[in-house]
């Protein structure tokens, strides 16, 4: 995630200002041009944070959970390359996939590797300053990470 042209241009410019990044959305007959940040918000709401999307993905099992995790990673990529992700996207995704015990457990059961990757993405986003959250969320993420590791390694403390 290191090839954002806006970073190159802002480094070349004498004033250091970041140029506007615009996206042409041609996914419908009514094409629209949006800022990159607006497009990331729209994509987050229509996919990553959309109950229809994540419920269908969860029903798909292993591959669906991988798709959710991949979308989270791509979202993080927009943070690292263009700083184009609002804090609410991470907060809402954390609320949806980690804090919601039912969803977290379904993901853990279907694909613990993908859930672990998602947790790593959240922790990295926080560590690099792209997501501001409280210590309680960070501790929960660390606990979920350990849960994933235990599941992957076949550790069962209840046996």
Kindly indicate the confidence band of residue 21, based on its pLDDT and cuts at 50, 70 and 90: confident
65: tokens are 């959970």
Tell how strand 32-35 and strand 22-25 pair up. antiparallel
pLDDT of residue 97: 98
Dist CA 80 CA 111 (whole Å):
26
pLDDT of residue 16: 72
Question: Using one digit for the tens of pLDDT, what is the confidence trace for 45-93?
Answer: 999 999 999 999 999 999 999 999 999 999 999 998 888 999 999 999 9
Mean pLDDT, rounded, of the chain: 91
Cα 60 to chain centroid distance, Å, stands at: 19
Whether 47 contacts 71, CB under 8 Å: yes
pLDDT at 4 over 90: no
- The values of phi and psi at residue 32, to 5°, are -135, 150
């Amino acid at each position: 995630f290191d090839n954002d042209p806006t970073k190159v241009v802002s480094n070349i410019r004498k004033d250091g200002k970041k140029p506007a990044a615009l996206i042409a959305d041609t996914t419908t007959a009514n094409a629209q041009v949006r800022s990159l940040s607006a497009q990331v918000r729209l994509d987050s709401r229509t996919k990553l944070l959309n109950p229809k999307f994540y419920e269908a993905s969860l029903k798909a099992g292993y591959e669906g959970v991988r798709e959710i995790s991949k979308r989270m990673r791509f979202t993080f990529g927009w943070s690292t390359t263009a700083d184009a992700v609002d804090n609410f996207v991470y907060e809402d995704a954390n609320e949806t996939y980690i804090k919601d015990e039912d969803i977290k457990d379904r993901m853990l059961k279907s694909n613990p590797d993908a859930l672990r990757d998602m947790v790593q993405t959240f922790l990295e986003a926080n560590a690099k300053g792209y997501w501001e959250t409280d210590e309680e969320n960070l501790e929960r993420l660390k606990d979920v990470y350990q849960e994933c590791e235990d599941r992957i390694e076949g550790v069962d403390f209840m046996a």
